[in-house]
Amino acid sequence: MYKEEMNVSGADLYSGLQKIFPDEKDLTLTERLEAARGPLLSWYQGNKRDLPWRENQDAYRIWISEIMLQQTRVEAVKPYFARFMECFPTVQALAECEEEELFKYWEGLGYYSRARNLKKAAKIIVSQYGGELPADHRALLALPGIGSYTAGAIGSIAFGLPVPAVDGNVMRVLSRVAGSYEDILKQAVKKKTEAAVEEVLKTLKKDEPGDFNQALIETGAIVCVPNGAPLCDLPCPFYTVCEARKRNLISAIPVKAPKKKRKIEEKTVLLVKYGDKIAIRKRDDTGLLASLYEFPNLEGKLSEKEVLERLGGGASVEEKLPEAKHIFSHVEWHMSGYLVKAGEEIPGMLFADRGELKEKYPIPNAFAAYRKLLESQS
């Protein structure tokens, strides 16, 4: 299908479009998508990236990949995805795993609530759907951790459902295509965009909705890139219907309301040694980084004297640690710290050997700089 449109340049992608739509500036987003449908699907077949979760249309693999890809780059996800699928090859295996084991395989990806929701959803899928993700959009949306984009991706790619998968990257692409100055972070704007995409998806054949949604995503990854100017001449499948390109608005669109400034929190991190072991502690089961292990830390940027007063027990500071920073969604941790030698085990701390730190206890990426420092000393 659409073979006549394969291997064409961006400028020639829609020859004759102006004859169909004389006043192209007044096209709706749905009409622009409809005009781009054939070229977009053909472009996708010739330009899509070779990604491990695209080896087949297995709903479980698609689900895991989409959750991992939230807030995380594709190249960073690839090794995690391979390791995760080896350890948890089925929904049943994921539902039955221990939480700490799951967190250890998630270690480094961040946003651990994603992993918690995966396990919660897996239990529901096993108990209510026999271990298979439901081929129903509403049922997918009802699962923990699955929003409109993820439900659309799973539904369309795995099951051919005509449901949109519109994320921030797709919003960037389509706001430029439409020449829209509406704030793409507003839910109402996203809903309107999803409705426009859905109108086109309803006209496609059974096996095409997944490719259409992925083609929109690929355009945002390869052409209308997230950082820097879009590469409009690659070619772009929206070349002749993109209003932002035609009117030289690519630097002004998309429009996003400025984000609120993050709260800055100072932390003093302690690498506490007792013999050959290092102290860690488990965080509370609610709040930021819930139930994960961390290196002991104190609020504020404390001096050596203040740290030793807090620790007691014949502790001594061996050296000052380099400063580090970690950014969460709404908070920034600015960290300094000390390597401390303990004279005795300290209440409230768990002392683990370096092998256990590497293989057993999940320590979040917020402490990556200090974890790497320990590994370099082993």
pLDDT along the chain (378 residues), means of 10: 36 39 70 94 94 94 96 92 96 95 90 93 98 97 97 97 96 96 96 97 94 96 92 90 94 90 94 92 88 93 92 86 92 94 86 88 91 81
Number of domains making up the chain:
2
What pLDDT is recorded for position 329? 84
Catalytic residue list: 66
Q: Is residue 212 part of a domain?
A: yes
Give the domain range for residue 328. 263-377
CATH assignment at residue 362: 3.90.79.10
Q: Which amino acid is at 255?
A: V
Q: Which amino acid is at 97?
A: C
Q: What are residue 279's DSSP bridge partners?
A: 351
Q: Are residues 204 and 80 in the same domain?
A: yes
Could you tell me if 85 and 61 are in contact, meaning their C-beta atoms sit under 8 angstroms apart? Answer: yes
Q: Are residues 97 and 215 in the same domain?
A: yes
Q: Are residues 135 and 47 in the same domain?
A: yes
Domain boundary among 246, 281, 304: 246
Question: Whose CA is closest to 41, among 6, 73, 77?
Answer: 6
Q: Are residues 227 and 291 in the same domain?
A: no
Q: Is residue 255 part of a domain?
A: no
Q: Is residue 143 part of a domain?
A: yes
What pLDDT is recorded for position 354? 86
Q: Are residues 212 and 267 in the same domain?
A: no
CATH assignment at residue 26: 1.10.340.30
Domain boundary among 194, 217, 246: 246
Q: pTM for the whole thing? A: 0.84
Q: Are residues 128 and 238 in the same domain?
A: yes
Domain boundary among 215, 246, 277: 246
**Cα 128–66–222 angle (5° rounding)?**
155
- Tell me the C-alpha distance between 171 and 175, whole Å: 6
